[in-house]
């Protein structure tokens, strides 16, 4: 057996409201769920982006919890890469700049394909890249 896709990816944030504005307003993802003080979830194509308050998710579920999800979390900046065509990358760059978000890096990979990098409000490294950087 082998998995065919990643269903969900998680980032850990320090400010859920700022993260929701960034991913919802700037990146334009559709919010599909939230629990105040704990998480906000977004749809991205056929996948889901989970944004968690790291402190809140380190707690064990209460006995008899409806969804006994084990504790999890991370410390420090994470990374996530969104797929984009060359033309879309130019559009994303302009969009970030119009929102006052600095482009941290913009370059062509040695084997082809371009990436741009920005930081979300929690310091996570967010990349937009052409799929051909991985041979797709």
Which two three-digit tokens encode residue 57?
């998710």
User: With pLDDT > 70 as the criterion, what percentage of the chain qualifies?
Assistant: 99
Q: Which of 55, 90, 87 lies closest to 73, judged by CA?
A: 55
Q: Are 33 and 49 in contact (CB under 8 A)?
A: no
Contacts of 32 (CB under 8 A, 6+ apart): 41, 42, 43, 48
How does residue 128 score in pLDDT terms, banded at 50, 70 and 90?
very high
| Dist. CA 133–CA 127, nearest whole Å | 12
Greater confidence, 71 or 17? 17
* Residue closest to 11 by CA, chosen among 44, 69, 54: 54
pLDDT in tens, 21-75: 999 999 999 999 999 999 999 999 999 999 999 888 887 777 777 778 888 888 8
* 118/101 Cα distance (integer angstroms): 7
d(CA 82, CA 6): 13
Contact partners, residue 132, CB within 8 Å, separation at least 6: 112, 113
The whole-chain average pLDDT of the chain stands at 93
Residues contacting 113, CB < 8 A, separation 6+: 129, 130, 131, 132, 133
* Confidence (pLDDT) at 70: 84
Provide the whole-model pTM: 0.92
**Locus of tokens 């410390």:** 75
Domain boundaries, the chain: 8-60+76-134
How much is the pLDDT for 73?
84
CATH 3.10.180.10 fits 8-60+76-134, yes or no: yes
3-state SS class at 122: coil
Range 108-112 average pLDDT: 94
């Amino acid at each position: 057996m082998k998995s065919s896709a990643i269903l969900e990816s998680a980032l850990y944030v320090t400010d859920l409201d700022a993260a929701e504005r960034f991913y919802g307003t700037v990146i334009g993802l559709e919010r599909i769920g939230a629990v105040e003080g704990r998480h906000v979830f977004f749809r991205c194509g056929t996948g889901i982006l989970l944004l968690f308050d790291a402190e809140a998710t380190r707690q064990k579920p209460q006995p008899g919890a409806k969804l006994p999800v084990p504790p999890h979390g991370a410390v420090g900046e994470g990374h996530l890469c969104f797929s984009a065509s060359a033309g879309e990358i130019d559009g994303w760059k302009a969009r970030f700049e119009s929102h006052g978000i600095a482009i941290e890096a913009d370059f062509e990979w040695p084997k082809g394909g371009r990436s741009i990098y920005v930081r979300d409000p929690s310091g996570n490294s967010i990349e937009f890249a052409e799929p051909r950087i991985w041979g797709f």
